[in-house]
A and B are shown apart, each in its own frame.
Chain A
Amino acid sequence: MKILVCISHVPDTTSKINFSDDNKMFDNQGVQFVINPNDEFGLTRAMWFKEKQNATVDVINVGSSVTEPTLRKALAIGADKAIRIDSEPIDGFFVAKQISDYITSNPYDLIIAGRESIDYNGAMVPGLIAGLTKMNFITNCTNLEIENNFATLEREIDGGKEILTCNLPLIIGGQKGLVEESDLRIPNMRGIMQARQKPLDVIPCSDLDSKTKSIKFQKPAPREEVKLVSSDNLDQLIEMLHNEAKVL
């Protein structure tokens, strides 16, 4: 089984988010970048397929050379090969188009992406790839088993979950549940050393088509101070929620 894991390179979850002076770009000064958490769950699940079912695992990122340390980290965790499509992504469609073009000439049985990236939160790349390639697609995927080219999956839905089956090739949008937090792997020294020798192919981007543009960013307005209510005066809290906030 050939697996491709899509890796988004995103600011660490603890990052304070700031923008350039003209608010047109994310300011990456002093920001640590990591593998997008939803993608990391998928990468770990892919490692299990590699170890238990002999799969090969490639990772792919659409981005400039600054994302290479993130791809090397994925190699150190155990991926076999990395592919970087050299570009500055414009939007989710742009990223999906690049990956679709790549997998059309380099087919895989299973593509694992995250349900969304924690930076632009578009939640569309895996679905757009599915639309472009006509592959089966399931997102919010919290469990995945594959036997003989046949997949059984669990999808989280509003207020519950459902069990689905389909044939490969398949693309999923993954999240926690594919593996648990405690299953995530921290690269060890050996993995890091090996990662240096593994292939990281850089390929040019295929076209520059995009459908949307981010124009300007803005931080939320500073909030008003919290209104503290004494624990001896909970009636006041109810009164405020009723009359002032109007939520009761």
Chain B
Amino acid sequence: MSVLAYIESTKGIIKKNAFEIVSYSSALAKQLGIELIVLSINVDDNSELSKYGATRIVKVLNPELDNFDAKITGNVIAQVAKDINATHIVISSSVDSKYMAPLLTIDLEAGYLSNVVELPSNLNPFTVKRTSFTNKAFCDASIVSDIKIIGLSSNAFGIIENESTLSEEVYNPSLLQKNITLKSTEKISGKISIADADVVVSGGRGLKGPENWNLVEDLADTLGAATACSKPVSDMGWRPHSEHVGQTGKPVATNLYIAIGISGAIQHLAGINSSKVKVVINNDPEAPFFKAADYGVVGDAFDVVPRLNEKLKAFKAQNS
């Protein structure tokens, strides 16, 4: 019996969410009293994972796996899981992992829960807390099958340092036939994605028009943040759909979410609620967002945001 943590990488570099996955998995393995094994695909140097409790790495190195294919990657994880007799598999909530998870679930005849936010509260039946109703509620749910797949919400558990010594072994899986062809990938270059960002700066209809988005972008630049927007802003074509966050857009679970000129409609809040700290800037003191935020500034965005940006630049210059 063992816990298998699957970590993701881009172009050979471990993704940041891996540290949380390994921290959680290491704590889970301890709670279960079984070994933790970490699986990486096409990562040469896994040494950083030892800071978070990884002791044994299974490396798969195969250039054919460079382009993510949910079925093929899921099947590789299933092969490793069977080989090491994994009973618990931990994966992230990235778009790719959520795509792959149900296929892995069927491969292993497992049970899968997504959006898990804590370690199990009970081992028999295996019970964990997850978010549901797009963050309007939590649900304690149990997995009743022998093999359990846990999709960990990002930023829910956090990173726990736990220096360990690593041993590595290479695993050569067989690959399923490819049925889906990747034609092209378009990454918005030079920009941090909402999923990877520690800070997200988000703008709403209060910004009046796309020509004013420099306010959002300048602040995001200063903070190394991703930019996002409310739904009507993307529906009107002021911003690309990929920036739409909320119940019907992307979920946001960052450390800091700054909402500018967003009223705080229930559908918007649902999607961003799992962010740790929320700051709202709105000229209407009655805006519902003030009931959901940690910090608020009542004021005109066109006045407040540029001044805040200047002050933050000075702060960053001093503290770096």
- By a beta-carbon cutoff of 8 Å, the part of chain A in contact with chain B is 11, 13-14, 17, 19, 26, 37-38, 92-93, 96, 118-128, 130-132, 136-140, 142, 152, 156-167, 175-177, 180-182, 210-220, 223-224, 226-231, 234-235, 237-238, 240-242, 245, 247-248
Contacts and interface: CB of A to CB of B under 8 A. Distances in A.
Contacts of A120: 132-133, 139
B30 interface: no
A74 to B, nearest CB: 18
A152 B94 CA distance: 23
A217 B308 contact: no
Give the 7 A-B residue pairs with the shortest CB-CB distance, closest first: A127-B102, A131-B106, A159-B193, A211-B111, A231-B299, A160-B187, A158-B195
Contacts of B307: 234
B185 A162 contact: yes
Nearest to B71: A137
Contacts of B242: 156, 160-161
Nearest to B185: A162
Interface residues of B, number: 93
Given A215-B140, A247-B277, A37 B248 contact: yes
Interface string B149-184: 000000000000000000000000000000111111
Given A17-B137, A119-B132, A235-B311, 14 more contacts: A17-B133, A37-B248, A121-B134, A126-B102, A162-B184, A162-B185, A181-B231, A217-B138, A223-B292, A227-B294, A228-B295, A237-B308, A247-B198, A248-B223
A167 to B, nearest CB: 7
A21 to B, nearest CB: 15
B127 A162 contact: no
Nearest to B267: A13
A165 B180 contact: yes
B141 A214 contact: yes
A180 B179 contact: no
B312 interface: yes
A242 to B, nearest CB: 7
A160 B95 contact: no
A228 B296 contact: yes
A234 B308 contact: yes
A234 B267 contact: no
B295 A130 contact: no
B50 interface: no
A237 B295 contact: yes
Contacts of B113: 122, 212
A158 B199 contact: no
Given A122-B114, A211-B144, A217-B137, A181 B196 contact: no
B290 A226 contact: yes
A215 B98 contact: no
15 contacts: A13-B267, A14-B266, A17-B136, A119-B132, A137-B70, A156-B95, A163-B186, A215-B139, A217-B132, A218-B138, A220-B138, A227-B296, A231-B303, A245-B277, A247-B199
A101 B248 CA distance: 29
B304 interface: yes
B276 A137 contact: no
B256 A241 contact: yes
A237 B297 contact: yes
Residue among A38, A93, A165 with max Cβ neighbours from chain B (10 Å): A93
Nearest to A151: B180
A216 B247 contact: no
A241 B277 contact: yes
A124 B102 contact: yes
B152 to A, nearest CB: 14
Residue among A121, A163, A166, A240 with max Cβ neighbours from chain B (10 Å): A121
A166 B182 CA distance: 9
A176 B105 contact: no
Contacts of A125: 102
A248 B135 CA distance: 25
A215 B99 contact: no
Contacts of B187: 159-160
Given A118-B133, A157-B96, A224-B294, A211 B112 contact: yes
